[in-house]
Structure 1
Amino acid sequence: MKKTLLFLSFILVNGFMYSQTQPTVHNATFTKIAKNSGSDCSCSGWINKSVADQGESSTKDSNDVVKFDNVESDGVYQEVAVEANSNYTLDLEYWFSDATTTTQHIEVLILKGSGYVSGYTPAYAPPATAEQDGFGYDSLTAVDDTNNHVARTTIIPPGNTDKNSMTQLTFNTGSETSIAIFIRAVGPYDAGAHGDSGKDKGWMNGDTEVRIDNLVLVNLGATASVNDIFASKVTIYPNPASSILNIDTQETINTIEVFNLLGKKVITSNSKTVHINSLSKGIYMLKLTNSNSIATKKFIKN
């Protein structure tokens, strides 16, 4: 029981210390919502007709979803503000209408904000006012340029028509503070079979409808390597300590905090000499932050 409680406390402390600003993704459940013009569809807030025809609203398991029609160039696109030098995960649910299909895969692309068209500032508009084309990425050439990719994954048809969950996509934003999420289904291209040349983007889904739902984008925080480098440049002594804990580093430190194993902040200091006389005996975590990194050090109060 004691080990379990300590483990849970450790999770609480780390979860508390590393909590991050989470991204705003409009209509991540692909609910059927009116866009700024034209028919209602769950592509609202997820539309960029310069690179893909709009996905259509559909229903699956009594919920609104977005559908990529067979032999069409359907896709979804949305720009999202993110934090630089942070790890993110993306999850998604999907269905194929036929177990046997020529749709080769679903493609999930994370595109760099630095690849947006020159002079463009993302608006991150809600569904009712989101633009429909001529913004962000305005050509498939730019979308397909691997130099503009933060991350890319493909989902191979699973051979069933059940609801499936993609293998979680994990990526780091590097210097990017904006990304575009672009998702499409890709199959053999046949312009003659497309049936709607005015919306033909030069690629197409295969012979089955594909549906997606419940996209989840999570910010996990700064990269471990950045934090580890910062932490490696910090030394604390003595440890164990009874009255004073000294911090030795040449790094700039913005905040100094001490947490107990329940995740409660018990000391805030503006000095590299931290007075811990008031603490009860036990194990504590020292948290140090600068402009873009976090270092944690465990110490014992005796």
Structure 2
Amino acid sequence: MPRPRAPKRTMELTEQAVEHGVARLAQLDEARQAKRDRCTRAARDAASDDNDPVDSLSPVFDRFTLSGGEAVVQSTNFSEEDINMLWRVVEEHVVLRWNVGRGKKCKYGGKDVMLMMLTALKHCGKWDVVASVFKINPPTFQKMIMKFTEMISPFVYARFVEDTNTKWSMRELVVAGKTFSNFACARYATDVTFQPANIPYGLCEGRSIYFSGKHKLHGYKVEVSVLPTGKAINCTSHHPGHVSDIEIFRRNQAFHSQNMKKSEADKRLQDEGPLVTEYPD
């Protein structure tokens, strides 16, 4: 006769647990930054003696705010005000798509999962490290974060990247006085950024495509185009580390061809660029 299973023990997320988790994330972040020979800044421990349960639609977020003003910043690189502002932008989109329809529902609300997602994006070298901060089983945490990210990413990209590209034409930059100081005729700057990653499992041949000879690390590359205002207007899909920067640029040629072409309003602007004769349009 099979033995009855013991009931699963659930762990409550308390202010002390948040404090301990944030401290662990801060230590991991400092160690990672030190390994890359970057300057690190000391993080203050979040502290609170209030153990009363939080009664709200986003108890996890409220636990972090009750644990001290630095807890949210250390976990996500966003201030409490930044996250509240972001939530106001995405709230309607999330409410209509998160925990709706048939099937098992997630016990965490949209704002709490957004906080977890931002924490994972900053610290997630391994899923179990960040999952332990929120007292969630790592496989469950990974599945939840990936599902939420896939749901919210297209909306966030359209809202903060594509809309910015539409708003800031070359004429708008000139009128606002926000052109590049050293190259005023350029609308945006483009570069390829490298994101280190863990060495993938598998045969050596399969792993080698993720190795960047330039950075001497395994990881991914993306090309990002940024306006003089500091806002991105395009970000490509990620590419394995072995793909050259120029090849990524060529694969994104359709975007550049469309966005470097002058509009009728742009043609009325004074152009003193070095290639104005060869490329008047």
What TM-score does the superposition give when structure 2 sets the normalisation length?
0.23
Larger relative contact order, structure 1 or 2 (CA cutoff 8 Å, min sep 6): 1
Greater gyration radius: 1
Query: Which one has the bigger helix percentage?
Result: 2
Query: Which one has the bigger strand percentage?
Result: 1
